Amino acid sequence: MSMIRVEDVYKAFGEIEILRGLSLNIEEGEITTIIGQSGTGKSVFFKHLIGILKPDTGKIWFHDTEVTAADNDTLVEIRKHFGYAFQGAALFDSMNVAENIAFPLREVLGITDKKDAARRVSEMLDWIGLPGIENKRPAELSGGMRKRVGVARALVTKPDVLLFDEPTTGLDPVLGETINDLVVRVNKELELTCVVITHDIQASFRISDKIAFLHEGVVAVEGSPKEVARSTHPLVKKFIENSFNELEV
């Protein structure tokens, strides 16, 4: 059975329909990448997975628990299984790196022991390759460093699923590859299920077990990178061809 099951989800904001019957299975231990044009509902889809948004119709399951029918207490418990690496890292400017990473330990897990929190923060900074930067402020970090600190903050609670929202946006190609490699490390070394929203089509074909192409609020094509590459869907073909042509140029 899939770890996450999304079944025929619809969501509209006023008269604007965003999700129009989206269905997708996310397998445990895999990297699933969501690609597609802007405005197709990728970020809205993420917010549904953790119950921030509720669909107008349709169901979402995490293991045997229906997220879409969960009460607030159940949602709090479900969210403890998820980490969220935000697009711009979303670090708190008023906090140093250690305080940023420790924030979910206190707010999500209720850990108040400062020595325990400091140990966990240090372990995460070592793992992402940025030891000793606990006292730096976000403004002192490069874009790539901020992204990695954001990932460390998402990982520090030891989730089962890590959601990556446009992890390479704003980075040059070299730094982008570093972050994509970090996604693979999270998946392979920590054995986490990863779900990635990205415009980096080349990377999605390199790192993913499954790719889902969103178009007009539904999954138009899904499958392994090889299966998606062979798709005859005209928009998918054009989207992929344009992405790889840009790389060649």
The residue segments making up the domain with residue 35 are: 1-81+163-170+192-249
Distance, in Å, from the CA atom of 219 to the CA atom of 212, rounded to the nearest integer, reads 6
Q: Considering the entire predicted model, what is its pTM? A: 0.91
Inside any domain, residue 94? no
Whether 143 and 91 have beta carbons less than 8 Å apart is answered as no
Number of domains in the chain: 1
Inside any domain, residue 67? yes
What local confidence, expressed as pLDDT, does residue 249 receive?
A: 40
Whether 105 and 111 have beta carbons less than 8 Å apart is answered as yes
Whether 62 and 81 have beta carbons less than 8 Å apart is answered as yes
Per-residue pLDDT, averaged over 107-116, amounts to 87
CATH number of the domain within which 34 lies = 3.40.50.300
**pLDDT band, very low/low/confident/very high, at 247 (cuts 50, 70, 90):** very low
Inside any domain, residue 102? no
- Does the pLDDT value for residue 205 go beyond 60? yes
Number of neighbouring beta carbons within 10 Å of residue 213:
25
pLDDT in tens, 221-237: 999 999 998 888 888 88
Whether 108 and 160 have beta carbons less than 8 Å apart is answered as no
Inside any domain, residue 143? no
Q: Which two tokens stand for residue 141?
A: 């970090």
Which strands form 82-85's sheet, in the order they lie side by side? 82-85, 161-165, 193-197, 31-36, 210-215, 218-223
Inside any domain, residue 17? yes
- Does the pLDDT value for residue 163 go beyond 60? yes
Per-residue pLDDT, averaged over 172-181, amounts to 89
- Does the pLDDT value for residue 1 go beyond 50? yes
**pLDDT band, very low/low/confident/very high, at 244 (cuts 50, 70, 90):** low
Inside any domain, residue 123? no
Whether 95 and 68 have beta carbons less than 8 Å apart is answered as no
- Does the pLDDT value for residue 37 go beyond 90? no
The sign of the dihedral angle between the CA atoms of 85, 89, 90, 93 is positive
Inside any domain, residue 223? yes
Please enumerate in sequence order all residues whose Cβ is within 8 A of that of 209, keeping only pairs 6 or more positions apart, or say none: 27, 30, 31, 32, 224
- Does the pLDDT value for residue 161 go beyond 80? yes
Per-residue pLDDT, averaged over 190-214, amounts to 93
pLDDT in tens, 42-95: 889 999 999 999 999 999 999 999 999 999 999 999 999 999 998 877 889 999
pLDDT in tens, 138-159: 999 998 899 999 999 999 999 9
